[in-house]
Structure 1
Amino acid sequence: MAFFGLSRVSRRLLKSSVSVTPSSSSALLQSQHKSLSNPVTTHYTNPFTKCYPSWNDNYQVWSKGRELHQEKFFGVGWNYRLICGMSSSSSVLEGKPKKDDKEKSDGVVVKEASWIDLYLPEEVRGYAKLARLDKPIGTWLLAWPCMWSIALAADPGSLPSFKYMALFGCGALLLRGAGCTINDLLDQDIDTKVDRTKLRPIASGLLTPFQGIGFLGLQLLLGLGILLQLNNYSRVLGASSLLLVFSYPLMKRFTFWPQAFLGLTINWGALLGWTAVKGSIAPSIVLPLYLSGVCWTLVYDTIYAHQLHHHRFLFQLLFHVSCKCIHFDDKEDDVKVGVKSTALRFGDNTKLWLTGFGTASIGFLALSGFSADLGWQYYASLAAASGQLGWQIGTADLSSGADCSRKFVSNKWFGAIIFSGVVLGRSFQ
């Protein structure tokens, strides 16, 4: 009995040490909220709190006590620490355990584990992440123009060459990985300053730049092995694309049109696939196909670029309402970091620009199919692809990073629709 009584007392003491009563929590919130009008010096180095350094303390109190005061802070139930990707090194409610172990005390939020972390040996995880093997959408976007071109090069009534599709599929995986490696090597100074990229292997220190260069050499060597399986015309054409591959990562430092350079790079397979099968190039068929891919890239990569800027928009809106002395210019901040994009160039007219590029992409695809004398099935697929592209542009919430990401990933289905149309249009020709 004595032991039972002692255990009950200890549980009560433990519960009282980690809980907050509504009255005490309200008093704590009120006292912290008053500090907004009296800025004080704190240990936080968050650049968004230069005007009111006590902002983090206030929000920590609200975040910890949100079960008692839900949606009473500016009338919004946002979790500030999840929005900005930062956490305080100390907690107002010391006894309360953290929500999870993904938040580090140094202000970095660890991303959720992918299949790379779960299944690959520790020695190769950094290299797999460097090649973005856990994000296959980039490989799909690189491979689809190749597949379109190979299918167009098939003989009337025939299916596309499975041999070349397999070679170009492996080549897309390797070239995409090489491009990501080059990008991380050149942008490591930028990646360390951006929450979204600071956990990349080279920026985080998981891999050294020397290891990255060695891995890049291995990928290029394997890519060369695939290129040597093609004819001489294709070898020269394929090797010439390396100039674009190495120069593209630098374009966002110098121009607001890096998406256009990405389009020129990632759609090179539209030229290469035809030449691999035919041994020569047919400008009336291949060039419109290539230009359609460039316009398509301008659509999906501009949408992708918007998800990189919406966080600052949220901060600008929130602080403009709560703290009139703070003002951020989204474009100026990105230029200072060294990042430019069509998302910044187009601004409020983004959807108008995207509509123009989407229309041009479908138009070039129609011209290519007409020059190749494809059947009506191809044009039916173009109608379906137009609907998918129109859905992307029309429903995209450019202020929502999650929605921009969903629209970006959906482009693998746009590529699949076009490919199926080319196959059917050629098979029933």
Structure 2
Amino acid sequence: MSDANQPSTVADAQADNWVDRHAPDWLKPYARLARWDRPIGFWLLFWPCIWGLALAAIAVPERGFDFPAALLMLVGAVLMRGAGCTFNDIVDRDIDDKVARTRSRPIPSGQVTARDALYFMVAQALLASAVLFQFNRFTVWAAVASLVLVAIYPFMKRITWWPQAFLGLAFSYGALVGWSSQTGGLSWAPVLLYAGTILWVIGYDTLYALQDIEDDALIGVKSTARLFGEHVRPVVAVLYLAAYMLWAAAVVLVGGGLIFAVLSLAAIALLGWQVWTVDPAQPDNPRARFYSNHYVGVALSLALLADWVW
């Protein structure tokens, strides 16, 4: 495809994002593969890491919150999210070409070959490994184990109605990594935190999938949005409520509770707003509800940190 015919942006990226405005032309296709034009993904991967770190700080207040570890995890989240999205685009290149929202992505639009995308994915994964090896051995092996989930996720939409569950297993892993980076192991509290985060991811990705539901039906791609059908709102509401109950239980197990319960009401309000106002018939409505989960992550992080300080 000639440069003149290549799309100047990606359909599902925010307008006037920094990649489109400032990145050099040679970098733009790779930045779009890694979703640097859509930072919401690495934030959603990063916030569970903060939750795990904060939960460990509540459990042993004198140890404190590990800010250097949080910075490393932010860098790791950007790299691993980029590598995962690149792998996803390699696997889904034929499907992406059939969906209006995704056919402008770098591979189906001809901006990058699948082989060059593979090299880029490996480079990101190697840099992420350098970050990972700054942590203890248990955390390293736990994170390596999560790569199985990352590898199989792109294929799940072809064989199961629950691909969002596999995304949840992979995207919530930071809760375990954050905790184990401080403790060298696991316990019931981070497991409950992880379980609640999985339900949260299933909920918000179900809302996100509503924007592709017609194209997915035409090409045979499965999703919880299609599975739940007209019951999407009540099912996502139950998922969100169960997620919050598991998060609260995790905090109680490590000796927190009251401060978190009060301050986390902001996150509950955001989740309730998503369910109450989602309308797939309105353009960009599901995507806006999905993006608001960044602020859910911020609210829960502040609630956990406040509980630790208290």
- TM class, shorter-length: over 0.9
For residue 140 of structure 1, the aligned residue among 43, 59, 67 is 43
Q: How does 1:122-271 map to 2 (within 5 A)?
A: 122-154=25-57, 155-156=60-61, 159-271=64-176
1:13 corresponds in structure 2 to: none
Q: CA deviation at 1:277?
A: 1.0
2:205 corresponds in structure 1 to: 301
2:276 corresponds in structure 1 to: 394
1:377 corresponds in structure 2 to: 259
Q: CA deviation at 1:351?
A: 0.8
1:346 corresponds in structure 2 to: 228
- Report the Cα distance in structure 1 between the residues aligned to 2:306 and 2:9, rounded to whole angstroms: 47
1:281 corresponds in structure 2 to: 186
What are the Cα deviations for residues 220-253 of structure 1, in whole angstroms up to 9, with x where unaligned?
A: 1001101110111111101001000111011011
Q: TM-score, normalised by structure 2?
A: 0.92
The secondary structure found in structure 2 opposite 1:401 is coil
- Report the Cα distance in structure 2 between the residues aligned to 1:408 and 1:110, rounded to whole angstroms: 18
Q: Which moved more, 1:130-139 or 1:159-168?
A: 159-168
Q: TM-score, normalised by structure 1?
A: 0.67
CA 1:178 to 1:338, structure 2 compared with 1: closer, same or farther past 3 Å?
farther
Q: Percent identity?
A: 39
Is the CA contact 2:7–2:109 (under 8 Å) kept in the aligned structure 1? Answer: no
Q: Quick check: 1:358 aligned with 2:261?
A: no
What are the Cα deviations for residues 269-319 of structure 1, in whole angstroms up to 9, with x where unaligned?
A: 11111111111112x21111001101101111111000123xxxxxxxxxx
Relative to its length, the structure with more helix (as a share) is 2
Q: CA deviation at 1:384?
A: 2.4
1:260 alignment partner AA: A
1:347 alignment partner AA: G
Is the CA contact 2:20–2:37 (under 8 Å) kept in the aligned structure 1? Answer: no
Q: How does 1:96-135 map to 2 (within 5 A)?
A: 111=11, 114-135=17-38
The secondary structure found in structure 1 opposite 2:284 is helix
Is the CA contact 1:306–1:401 (under 8 Å) kept in the aligned structure 2? Answer: no
- Report the Cα distance in structure 1 between the residues aligned to 2:159 and 2:229, rounded to whole angstroms: 18
CA 1:370 to 1:109, structure 2 compared with 1: closer, same or farther past 3 Å?
closer
Is the CA contact 2:192–2:247 (under 8 Å) kept in the aligned structure 1? Answer: yes
- Report the Cα distance in structure 2 between the residues aligned to 1:334 and 1:107, rounded to whole angstroms: 23
Q: Which has the larger radius of gyration?
A: 1
- Report the Cα distance in structure 2 between the residues aligned to 1:244 and 1:110, rounded to whole angstroms: 26
CA 1:401 to 1:260, structure 2 compared with 1: closer, same or farther past 3 Å?
farther
Larger RCO: Structure 1 or Structure 2 (Cα < 8 Å, ≥ 6 residues apart)?
Answer: 2
1:118 alignment partner AA: R
